[in-house]
Amino acid sequence: MKINNHKGWAEIKKSLNYTSEVRKKMISLSAKLTVAILGKQEEAGISNADLALKAQVSERSIVDLTEDDSVPSIEVLIKLALAMDMELEII
């Protein structure tokens, strides 16, 4: 899996139309979580199928993380992070 060929987050943010400041922050947080999850997945060498099974989500949910126009649900991101043994900290 390669995630290096995607646009940078700063570039993507410029092209987005936000309906509210809350939506903007939600997309930003989702993007940060997505990058962290995909990076950890790549580092661990875990396939999409294995991660999907472990997280109890569809494999399509993981593939969607690599799409520029897809904003994953927070539930999917939390499931994936927990499946990757990542700790989520609220500060």
Q: How sure is the predictor about 82, in pLDDT bands with cuts at 50, 70 and 90? A: very high
Rounded distance, CA 28 to CA 2, Å? 21
The helix (H) or strand (E) run that includes residue 80 is: helix 74-83
Residues of the chain with pLDDT > 90: what percent? 47
- Does 4 score more than 70 pLDDT? no
How many other β-carbons are positioned within 10 Å of the β-carbon of residue 61?
A: 20
Over residues 26-66, the pLDDT tens digits come to 888 888 899 999 999 999 999 999 999 999 999 999 998 88
pTM over 0.85: no
